[in-house]
Amino acid sequence: MATMGFDSDDQRVANLPRGTQIEKSGAVLMQADPLSTFVAEKLMPPLP
């Protein structure tokens, strides 16, 4: 999220449920939660 941006990350995760069973499981695990969103927001300014 911090390097690719929130929109890009959301799009990639949104496509996972259409894939294999492993990708479907990954979609559940990779959803943005409040903690990961908070950390990504704090890391975004210093990253190129």
Distance between CA atoms of 48 and 44, rounded to whole angstroms?
A: 8
pLDDT value of position 46: 66
Instruction: Give me the pLDDT at residue 47, please.
Output: 57
pLDDT of res. 18: 87
- pLDDT tens digit string along 1-48? 656 667 777 787 887 888 888 888 888 888 888 898 898 888 877 655
pTM for this prediction: 0.49
Please name the residues in contact with 36: beta carbons below 8 A apart, sequence gap of 6 or more: 1
What separation, in Å, do the N-terminal and C-terminal C-alpha atoms of the chain show? 13
Q: Are 40 and 4 in contact (CB under 8 A)?
A: no
Question: What pLDDT does residue 1 have?
Answer: 63
